[in-house]
Structure 1
Amino acid sequence: MVFDCIPFFNELDILKLRMQIMAPYVDFFVIEEASVTFSGEPKRMIFAENRQLFAEYEGKIRYVPVENSPMEGVTTHERDKFQKNQLIRGLFDCKPEDIIIFSDVDEIPNPNTLTKLMERFESGKVYHLAQRMFYCFLNMEEVSGNLLSITGEFPGVEKRQWLGTKICSFSELPGEGIVYLREVSPEDERSVRVADGGWHFGYMGGDGERDVAKRIGVKVQAAAHSEYNSKRYLNEAVDRLLCGEDIFDRDAKFVRVEIDESFPAYLRAHREEYDFLIAPEISPAGILWKRMKLAAKQWLRRAHGMAARVLRSH
């Protein structure tokens, strides 16, 4: 039996994409959804409210609502781990040899690679799927290799990628909980890197919201990154991305790519359904104009800060 274990926040569009891609390859989707965000704020149970959208998969769905998240004396990361570890409740009848797939909803395995992996699967291994990374748009790809998952990368890999999805047998799940699969080191003797492992579609989808800045804002607020949660910052973040820069001003590079044969077949066949998640082509002049606007805004902020400091000193 194969169990696809998915922590869910609000990404209805991306969840549908994942389930369409993965349904032929898994026996069950185990979907965890919490009643509070990682930062401890109440949130709607969006999957529960929209479960009818996934009626064709109902026989495969095991829904794990989490309504008892710790609220006092814990960090956002501790609350995150508690919630994701509740996925174990959906694995109540697993046998040691059953196969567990674990990743955030937006870390989607490549089904072609998954098929080959299942043919040579070893129960004592932990497989790390190396995935292409995209932010905010399905076709804005990170190409520097500087943005890595908590797992890092395998030593000696020249083209570093996001090690998102983890796959192992049920018997190999960490005793501390399923979320700790992310902390299995690439240097662990059980670790196997799997190339062409899929796609990480970060900061996409979300309860019908089509405004890119608002989508980013919801995720940022949920994760308690208050330093990024302002209208000015979020609007600039989108412009930065379209200019090839990271939305959080990290050392990364993004490029717009075409939706081609390297993308999921379902996405290519239903492109119109995901048009709002596909970045439009921008001319070199358009990118130059965006860069000039960003530079002007940054200069004005610095000037305003200097003026404020001068006034305070008098």
Structure 2
Amino acid sequence: MSDGYSSSKKTDDICEDFCGRATRAARGMSRLRCLLREIDMKTYLFLFVVIPVGICGLYLHGQKISYFFRPLWESPPKPFHVIPHYYNENVSMETLCKLHGWQIREFPRRVYDAVLFNNEVDILTIRWKELYPYVTQFVLLESNSTFTGLPKRLIFKKNRDKFKFVEPRLIYGTIGGRFKKGENPFVEEAYQRVALDQLIRIAGIGDDDLLIMSDVDEIPSAHTINLLRWCDDIPPKLHLQLRNYLYSFEFFVDNKSWRASVHRYQSGSTRYAHFRQSDDLLSDSGWHCSFCFRRISEFIFKMKAYSHNDRIRFFHYLDPTRIQDVICKGANLFDMFPEEHTFKEIIRKLGPISHSYSAVHLPAYLLNNAEKYKYLLPGNCKRESG
């Protein structure tokens, strides 16, 4: 007691347990310092190198890790019943229908092509030029809001003069966005598709007419639609297998685009949707050209506007120089792994998409106006800034 310390004080006893006999100077040492003196080098490395690097790696690449291990927690979807597709311009329609196991009709069905429009002016032009000979009515709905709730100019309305060739067959509608902050983008998307469904009915569609349900950049080939309007006994709901391209027709991804579909319309039961509605898939039925824009500014707008905008994990993803570099390499704008359901497919698709130098069997209007749409053809990856 002569030193003035009470025997009930535990701090010095604890330090002595870890550091040996405590001197007067050591009695002021914190418990943390005592503990750290007993930690060996391997533990230091684990605490101050391995753990921080691991946390940093998860932050930077967590999405990649989750996509790579997707096969462990998500099974592949049910396989489609793939219908072989026969076509040659020198084969009669009666023979083509017969090759598919169908009978030819006395007269063709009416065809309605309905789309939600965002900002894809060039791709919409190519789509409508491709389908024009066989579509009875074009139906387009435009909103002043993106799926993510961002304000948007009515771009189609501003460019409507470019589409005078379809004006007599066009039903155009607009809808105001709900602008609900923090809402899941798929809710706004569903809201707009319901409105499009109403616009289709206003356009005068009737039972057994054909209704094309697809995004603007999912383009059915003209001969596919002509086949389906002339043939009887086609499935009431038929998905279209499209050749899948990214950025332009230079980067062929695969043949796995299936969301586009054609329906034999039935009042009271047919609803416009963009998910799987049937097990039937008609092979090689057109093209899906995703993120196929003329200007870098359009890439940036689409990245922020569409339903998967959560993929923008870092601000530098929107850097124009980076985007241009990614386009020319055929790499991923969001630095993601392939969205596949087997390790084999994920590994096979790792890295940039291979360049394709084939421009065979592309939309006729695109090739007839190759100079105007040069950026969509092989060897022309450079984009305007916008």
TM-score, length basis structure 2? 0.60
Counterpart position of 1:193: 281
1:177-208 deviations in whole A, cap 9, x for unaligned? Answer: 412x523153xxxxx21111100111123xxx
1:117-146 deviations in whole A, cap 9, x for unaligned? Answer: 333254752111100111112321113xxx
Q: CA deviation at 1:67?
A: 1.3
Whether the 8 Å CA contact 1:126–1:168 is kept in 2: the answer is yes
User: Given the alignment, which residue of 324, 337, 347 partners 1:250?
Assistant: 337
**1:31 partnered with 2:140:** yes
Counterpart position of 1:202: 290
Provide the alpha-carbon RMSD of the alignment.
2.5
- Evaluate the alpha carbon distance shift between residue 111 and residue 27 of structure 1 in structure 2; reply closer, same or farther with a 3 A threshold: same
1:241-296 deviations in whole A, cap 9, x for unaligned? Answer: 533433332224522223523211111111111012335279xxxxxxxxxxxxxx
- Identity level (%): 26
**Secondary structure, aligned partner of 2:333:** coil
Letter in 2 for 1:250: F
Letter in 1 for 2:187: E
Whether the 8 Å CA contact 2:374–2:380 is kept in 1: the answer is no
Whether the 8 Å CA contact 2:358–2:378 is kept in 1: the answer is no
User: Given the alignment, which residue of 293, 296, 316 partners 1:232?
Assistant: 316
1:16-42 deviations in whole A, cap 9, x for unaligned? Answer: 111111110101110011111111111
**Secondary structure, aligned partner of 1:114:** helix
Q: CA deviation at 1:50?
A: 1.2
**Secondary structure, aligned partner of 1:7:** strand
Count the aligned residue pairs.
254
User: Given the alignment, which residue of 85, 88, 91 partners 2:201?
Assistant: 91
1:72 and 1:247 map into 2 onto residues whose CA distance is 25
Counterpart position of 1:308: none
- Evaluate the alpha carbon distance shift between residue 271 and residue 231 of structure 1 in structure 2; reply closer, same or farther with a 3 A threshold: farther
Counterpart position of 2:361: 262
Alignment of 1:165-184 (within 5 A): 165-171=260-266, 174=269, 177-179=271-273, 182-184=275-277
1:43 and 1:129 map into 2 onto residues whose CA distance is 30
Whether the 8 Å CA contact 1:241–1:254 is kept in 2: the answer is no
User: Given the alignment, which residue of 238, 259, 263 partners 1:127?
Assistant: 238
2:221 and 2:159 map into 1 onto residues whose CA distance is 26
**Secondary structure, aligned partner of 1:32:** strand
Counterpart position of 1:49: 158
Letter in 2 for 1:228: I
Whether the 8 Å CA contact 2:243–2:288 is kept in 1: the answer is yes
**Secondary structure, aligned partner of 2:244:** strand
Counterpart position of 2:341: none
In terms of fraction of residues, the more strand-rich structure is: 1
TM-score, length basis structure 1? 0.73
Whether the 8 Å CA contact 1:100–1:168 is kept in 2: the answer is yes
**Secondary structure, aligned partner of 1:204:** coil
- Evaluate the alpha carbon distance shift between residue 22 and residue 173 of structure 1 in structure 2; reply closer, same or farther with a 3 A threshold: farther
Q: CA deviation at 1:231?
A: 6.1
Whether the 8 Å CA contact 2:221–2:363 is kept in 1: the answer is yes
**Secondary structure, aligned partner of 1:272:** coil
**Secondary structure, aligned partner of 2:357:** coil
Runs of 4+, deviation exceeding 6 Å: none
**1:222 partnered with 2:305:** yes
1:78 and 1:277 map into 2 onto residues whose CA distance is 32
Whether the 8 Å CA contact 1:139–1:257 is kept in 2: the answer is yes
Letter in 2 for 1:257: S
Alignment of 1:279-290 (within 5 A): 279-280=378-379
Q: CA deviation at 1:44?
A: 0.4
* Structure 2 unaligned blocks of 5 or more: 1-109, 339-348, 382-386
Q: CA deviation at 1:161?
A: 1.2
Q: CA deviation at 1:14?
A: 0.6
2:380 and 2:217 map into 1 onto residues whose CA distance is 23
Whether the 8 Å CA contact 1:123–1:172 is kept in 2: the answer is no
Letter in 2 for 1:265: A
Alignment of 1:18-167 (within 5 A): 18-69=127-178, 71=180, 74-88=183-197, 89-92=199-202, 93-122=204-233, 125-143=236-254, 161-167=256-262
1:53-105 deviations in whole A, cap 9, x for unaligned? Answer: 11121001100211154636842101011112211223222211111011100
2:363 and 2:371 map into 1 onto residues whose CA distance is 14
Counterpart position of 1:295: none
* Structure 1 unaligned blocks of 5 or more: 144-159, 187-191, 283-314
Q: CA deviation at 1:223?
A: 2.3
Whether the 8 Å CA contact 2:359–2:377 is kept in 1: the answer is no
- Evaluate the alpha carbon distance shift between residue 247 and residue 6 of structure 1 in structure 2; reply closer, same or farther with a 3 A threshold: same
